[in-house]
Chain A
Amino acid sequence: MFNFPIGDLFDTLVRFLRDNLGPVFDGISWVLDTLISGFEFVIGVAPAIVTIVIFALLAWKAAGKGIGIFTLVGLVLIDAMGLWTNAVETLSLVLVSALIALVIGIPLGIVASRSHKADNLIRPVLDFMQTMPAFVYLIPAVFFFGLGKVPGAVATIIFSMPPVVRLTNLGIRQVPVNVEEAGRSFGSTPKQMLFKIQLPIALPTILAGVNQTIMLALSMVVISAMIGAQGLGSPVYSGIQNLRIGQGFEGGLAVVILAMILDRVTQALGDSSSK
């Protein structure tokens, strides 16, 4: 048997990147930090109750009365547990990460749908991103970006991006052949095909991907807290460390409430687009 030192190679690569691409990482870091702080400021600037009512109204408008009321009750409960600030941090981190995952993931999905070569190239990368244990890239993320919210966001982006890429790809590939032929037969340009036919028809599937991406982003909350991203993950993390089960449960419950609200609202958006 011969020995192939993949681990050593990876170490070398990480060091090489850190030493040579410092400015790039600083740039990324700055962008993410600014975005997250911006979100935190916007969501957190008003008194909790005002923001909660606004969220409840938005949820009502998007997903109906029931979800609106659930949002109101759920967020008030989070505030009552004293976790509103943490929730704002988590929400900002999750939304920024998901947003970036979508901004990168949807175009990637489009590219994958248009060529088999690209598809074959992207697919294994997605497998990697989804199944490689998060802790494995958490450490390099800390290496590149230091402790705090930014490495948490990076890990979240990596972990949550695959579904929207896959489902965008799938949605476009599922456009019926004769519908696509009809589009081409009228002399559509590739751009017209994409924006007037393929994307609108694939939209419900793409939105299912958006929903999954947001859910996966939320599932990274506790892991992000381990590298100092704060938010709702910290009471859970410290609760576990100090065997304060009740405190951990409160944090976990708050995450679940956020997840349910985000899930129902994005699902409702998907449903209304397919009608």
Chain B
Amino acid sequence: MAHVEIKNLYKIFGPNPKKALELTKEGMSKDEILEKTGNTIGVNNASLAVEKGETFVVMGLSGSGKSTLIRCLNRLIEPSFGEVFVDDEEITKVDQEKLREIRRKKMGMVFQNFGLFPHRTVCANVEYGLEVQGVTPEKRREKAYEALELVGLKGYEESKPDQLSGGMQQRVGLARALATDPEILLMDEAFSALDPLIRKDMQDELLLLQEKMQKTIIFITHDLDEALKIGDRIAVMKDGEVVQVGTPEGILTEPANDYVRDFVENVDRSKVIKAESIMRKADAVVDTKDGPKSAVRKMKNENISSIFVVDKSRKLKGIVDIEDAMKLADKGEKSIESAVHQGYPTAGPDELIIDLLPKATDSKYPIAVVDDENRFLGIIVRVAVISGIMGEGGNNDV
């Protein structure tokens, strides 16, 4: 069971949503419907399932319906048709009383222009969610202080919001949403109003916090780099429709249509693509027990000048150069063990290309990809790093 689930959700603004719904189902476009009926389609048949603990990003340009979509989740905007579930509860069916209860206990929201209460101190802002629940002043003060410390604003409790910088104000916004300890965080363009450096800091901080908190985060953004950085999964929206849902890499490597392809074209892929997807399965390896002659033969067959050495359980032991192996073969040695050396770069499967670049340029050997237990997974040759950045996909065929 997904934590938050949206099923066939529509939000239609205007005089006659029913009529517009029929026309959409007949396949009429957004613009035609606006012209014909005066209805604007905000969200068009969106279905999504967000898992517990997941950071789910909804990305789209302005007017794509993403902000409307997130407001349908806590009914700041009433959906026209369709269903929203949180846990097993159908949000779209509950009465006002129950809705307030859900907003109070289960969902915290962070807004683009912070939406802080200008007449309240930072602490009173953070306390607000607890205050409307009727929590005692001492208790909510304690919680507010905790939340402020969590976002690094200790010492600013008694300031007014307008005395703080943009980045700090949004930390207050985040602390305010966290103070009630909700399971779900709704973040609507939360970092979009911040300048780029501060935005990057906030993204890093959110990732760090999320590691500890494991909330279900639904994050709206128009910034693809932000989506790729933060999202476990990403939904791309266009004209109110969800056009693709996938992992950051999935979106980049297998765009569902031209719209998404154009969108991801200019992305800095080096910050998204992982070692795993550009590595080549290294078929040519030698066992520690193998002799130098067979090593030389394998290298000649593959037309390579060095070869990785693994043990029986495929743990990486080292590398052998072809010259050394040939010398051993000439001497008539039975084992290559004496020629095995280290001094090649290694990487984990999750390492990003941007981190592989220096390793690839500094060494004459390919990069060995190993898992946590030093098991040999594959190799990345220099050209694969380059083509990974250029967007030519994995290089299993290079």
Contacts and interface: CB of A to CB of B under 8 A. Distances in A.
B56 interface: no
A178 B132 contact: no
B103 A192 contact: no
B96 to A, nearest CB: 9
Given A186-B128, A186-B129, A189-B132, A181 B111 contact: yes
A215 B133 CA distance: 41
Interface of A: 176, 178-179, 181-189, 192, 196-197, 200-201, 203
A11 to B, nearest CB: 45
B118 A201 contact: yes
B76 A178 contact: no
Contacts of A201: 117-119
Interface string B114-136: 11111100000000110111000
6 contacts: A176-B113, A181-B115, A182-B176, A187-B132, A188-B132, A196-B128
A179 B176 CA distance: 13
B119 A185 contact: no
Given A178-B111, A178-B112, A196-B131, A185 B103 contact: yes
A187 B101 contact: yes
Contacts of B114: 178
Contacts of A203: 119
Contacts of A196: 128, 131-132
A157 B26 CA distance: 60
Nearest to B131: A196
A197 B104 contact: no
A201 B116 CA distance: 11
A203 B128 CA distance: 19
A182 B103 contact: no
A200 B76 contact: no
A192 B180 CA distance: 17
B100 to A, nearest CB: 4
B158 to A, nearest CB: 15
Interface residues of B, number: 30
Given A187-B100, A187-B104, A182 B116 contact: yes
A186 B103 contact: yes
B55 interface: no
B103 A184 contact: yes
Contacts of A200: 117, 119
B107 interface: yes
Contacts of B76: 181, 184-185
Nearest to B101: A187
Given A181-B76, A182-B109, A187 B133 contact: yes
Contacts of A181: 71, 76, 109, 111, 115
Nearest to B103: A187
B86 to A, nearest CB: 14
A237 B248 CA distance: 82
A185 B128 CA distance: 11
A175 to B, nearest CB: 10
B270 interface: no
A186 B131 CA distance: 10
A151 B74 CA distance: 53
> Which of B111, B113, B180 has most A Cβ within 10 Å?
B111
Contacts of A188: 100, 132
A201 B115 CA distance: 12
Contacts of A185: 74, 76, 103, 107-109, 186
Nearest to B129: A186
> Which of A176, A183, A186, A189 has most B Cβ within 10 Å?
A186
Given A182-B176, A186-B129, 4 more contacts: A182-B111, A186-B128, A187-B103, A192-B132
A189 B132 CA distance: 8
A188 B109 CA distance: 13
A244 to B, nearest CB: 52
A179 B100 contact: no
A193 to B, nearest CB: 9
A179 B118 CA distance: 9
Q: Please name the 4 residue pairs, one residue from A and one from B, whose CB atoms are nearest each other, closest first.
A: A187-B104, A182-B115, A187-B103, A178-B115
A182 B132 contact: no
B112 A179 contact: no
Interface string B66-110: 000001001010000000000000000000000111111101110
